[in-house]
Structure 1
């Protein structure tokens, strides 16, 4: 019987539940394990111990699906996740006989090369690969803000609105629009700790959430850019735009999405890609390696993301 391990921070979350449902339908055994419940140690013989609390050892699983190891306001379990994946890699290299069982880890190579990947790392990697992303500058803490605001203060002309983003975040959280210098100074107080990205405000009416698995597009879900991410002077103009894309433009969206996933060495990812009305091109907003797919499955019942992942 095929055995599947789902590592997560939230066993009751939609995605772990759906993965388990589909695995059971296929006759597989599935264990959902919270990172917090994994016990790591060293035996008296000096051997590493990774106790999942399931009664199964790591090398007994055929497929491992690591979900996010961090959560807002909670302790990061990234160290536990990295240790588990490294242990699986050791098992692979030590047991490489022809009849040995292969353990597949979704996004295993990506997590190995890039254990922690925020907007900073993504932006640099994708830009280095020649893919269109949003230009940005970044800095950290009060000293970074002081230097940035001093530079802005020396510039002549009107203030150009910008987006202020934290290094990590989802669903538009920790993303704020600064239309005035006064607003930017207030945000400087709010984001006084941690890494911050400053980006131009793009003229965007339509963006897509694209799901990719094993080099194939599972589907693309269109979204309208929210007004809170647009300057007031552009909102009326953008509201009149009725986006229509040619087959060539949609094919370019698919090509770009697949190329981005390849750059970050991922098997599975959800990408946010927007159409820039100013430059008339697609721009990658984000690549999420532990993307949620709840609303995708609800919007497109014919696309069974969970089943595709566990097969």
Structure 2
């Protein structure tokens, strides 16, 4: 898995306290040059990227870094992006003005349309690093200005890349993508509110999910994924709602076989199984199933493939949701009793 380093959540304190970023600071930037503003933004990002996500306590634990009252760290990150983008566009516009070039002339000289340059200068379009390089060269920017504005552009693109959700289309590509991630991960957390995770499928349930038209290659790939459970160096945490286990992908025989298989899977030394009963008083939504690998990658299964999320802030959101869901689950004998009760209901339905 690719390691996507992100802007840490603990930027909040200095982003808010530093006059370069605060609301009042944003209104008074006119007295500062684009280079000074860009330098302030970049130096703050550099500083926080050198520090851990949480301050270390003497006992080796971590504690969150304080943020301003009511501020969501993810929102602060978005605020940083907005302000940094604003300063990049303002800096480029000021350079063009100081060079006494019209927008049309600057656009022609750098090989872009006038409308594109206008969008860049008004903060409506994030220019590529190459576009920034061409503009800075054409506008004869001083070396210090070039360094700071290019650095700002690169960091904005890094931020945009980190926040990207990648969709892998097609069932086969989905299997390949998830299999590669699972092979590298040592811990997998799986939440389902409809159906059973592929790693815990019984043979009959697997065939029911894939359908009669499934290819031998698809069946083999799914079986290969299930073999991951045999690796005792890996840890698997399955969290299923009662509704997911009552969702009938096959008849009573298929469902009862699946529930018996889940009981067997739960007895493995590297597996934890929790079931969230109907009666659990959640009081918060869990809109879809997901899986988290090694606290670094989230995978969402969608109808046409899978989506992967690697931004650390988003991954932490899913880990937090998973922890809340875990507190609703029953385990051990209580989970086995619930699985048996659900099996009885499937048998009655026939």
TM, length-normalised to structure 1: 0.31
As a proportion of its length, which structure holds more strand? Answer: 1
Structure with bigger gyration radius? 2
